[in-house]
Amino acid sequence: MISFDAAVRATGANVIRGERAPQELRIVTDTRVVQSGETFLALRGDRFDGHSFLEEAVRKGARVLIVDETYAAGASVIPAEFGDVVVLVVPDTLRAYMALASSVRDRFSGEVIAITGSVGKTTTKALLTQLLATTFGERVAASPANENNEIGVSRFLLANAHDGHDVLVVELGARHYGDVAALVDVAKPGIGILTNIGEAHVEIMGSRERLAETKWGLFSRGARAVLNARDEGSLHRAPTLRDAPHWFAATKGERISIGGRATLILGRDWLLEVDDLESRERTVDVRLPGLHNRVNLAAAIAGAEEVGVPLEAIVGALPNVHLPAGRYEEIRISGKPRILYDAYNANASGTVAALDAFAEEAGARRIVVLSSMAELGNETDVLHAHVGEHAAKSQPAFLLVGGAHAEMLAGGALHGGLPSERIVHFATNEEAAQWLREHARPEDVILLKGSRVYALEEIVESLRRR
């Protein structure tokens, strides 16, 4: 909720019939959920225009409409059928939506933690939220899956930045150069967790340097930094921060030296906390598969500590934390091999991490199903070849490759020493599922990894049916 006067100030709106305005506005952008008395804000997108649904919004009871100047100019006057509905005319409705969210955020007295990075941000968000709940319970709110752009972040803040919450965890995505800083201007986080600076969206960003600059926008408003101690980009840029960061890392058990404050997970049973004054060690029970997920857990622990969650509460919660759906998710189908589904999304570093975790899995035979990765720009071929070669190192019984860059995956695997007779090409997910039905055994274990666009969950559903 936001007061009418604050909304006008935040957006610089030209008000029509303002004498009929309610004191507070509850803003929605989807006419399917409009309720009587609410405010409908008309967003424009590539495939939709909310201004086409204004009459529907009024019919469902919208009391206030927020429209842009283009619509208002074309309409000449606000149509008579809108009756006594209040109208706010703004230059751009998306910018107005962000300004409204920013205004609500300014009045929120709790802590805002923002997470970004090329891989692991959604997993880190889920793990952090579970740890925060040990202290703050239901007074923690986290942004939903995929709600990490201008619209999603604004919607989340408008709905949750109120006195019913003490901590908000918001994920910040980046599809274009500078996106993270623009989202930071809305969310204004006090703590920023950067999982890593990888290669995701290099094609859109234009270069690795522009990608790094975009991710580093997380700290453009002075958020306290929580950084990956094994990420070269973060190590390089850390000296530019106003305050020393809180580092995090995970190892297979070996000890590493990190200056300053650090949270380290060593193997699956040691947590090491270091700062300038003391070093604390705790025996822990970490059940998450894969080193990359333990890195995400270390980031979550560091973030929870920054907001005041006691270390003992964190240690007690570790045996019960779990990964979000689609991230190395174990799926069991009666009479079929065990499946590890990690195809929510994929880039090179994330795929290599999943392959490393899979190499530790027990099974009569390990079968890897790799689909292609997206938005890698001029590094597409070399990164697919690298992933294929890495897949070969673990010597799977079979490697299935598909998608637009399957040839590069296969070529990398051949270069890595995997015999051609163990490499299988598939043109469709159903073709891959049929091969698995015919060749995989119940005692085998299967990894499914690929970019979201290839919908590898279709393989799982096909195996469930037959």
Q: List, in order, residues 6 or more apart from 413 with CB less than 8 Å away.
A: 388, 389, 391, 392, 399, 401, 423
Q: Which residues are registered as beta bridge partners of 167?
A: 111, 140
Average pLDDT rounded to a whole number, residues 6-12: 98
Q: What is the CATH number of domain 329-465?
A: 3.90.190.20
- Does position 89 have pLDDT exceeding 90, yes or no? yes
Q: Are strands 329-331 and 338-341 parallel, antiparallel or unpaired?
A: antiparallel
Average pLDDT rounded to a whole number, residues 167-192: 95
The residue ranges of every structural domain in the chain are: 2-91, 108-320, 329-465
Q: What is the length of the chain?
A: 466
Both structure tokens of 377: 């720009």
pLDDT digits (tens, 9 = 90+) for 181-206: 999 999 999 999 999 986 555 555 55
- Does position 172 have pLDDT exceeding 70, yes or no? yes
Average pLDDT rounded to a whole number, residues 356-385: 92
Instruction: Round the CA-based radius of gyration of the chain to a whole number and report it.
Output: 25
pLDDT above 70 as % of the chain: 96
Q: Provide the pLDDT for residue 79.
A: 65
Average pLDDT rounded to a whole number, residues 16-35: 94
Residue located via tokens 């015999």? 419
Q: Provide the pLDDT for residue 27.
A: 98
Q: How far apart are CA 27 and CA 357, in angstroms?
A: 44
Q: What is the CATH number of domain 2-91?
A: 3.40.1390.10
Return the higher-pLDDT residue of 202 and 384: 384
pLDDT digits (tens, 9 = 90+) for 110-123: 999 999 998 899 99
Q: Provide the pLDDT for residue 376.
A: 81
Q: What is the mean pLDDT of the chain?
A: 93
Contact 460, 339 (CB under 8 A): yes
Return the higher-pLDDT residue of 453 and 207: 453
Pick the CATH number of 108-320 from 3.40.1190.10, 3.30.413.10, 3.40.50.970, 3.30.565.10: 3.40.1190.10
Q: Provide the pLDDT for residue 445.
A: 98
- Does position 4 have pLDDT exceeding 60, yes or no? yes
- Does position 56 have pLDDT exceeding 70, yes or no? yes
Dihedral sign from CA coordinates of 86, 88, 94, 95: negative
Q: Provide the pLDDT for residue 337.
A: 97
Q: How far apart are CA 276 and CA 364, in angstroms?
A: 48
User: Band of the pLDDT at 176, cuts 50, 70, 90?
Assistant: confident
pLDDT digits (tens, 9 = 90+) for 307-353: 999 999 999 999 999 999 888 999 999 999 999 999 888 888 889 99
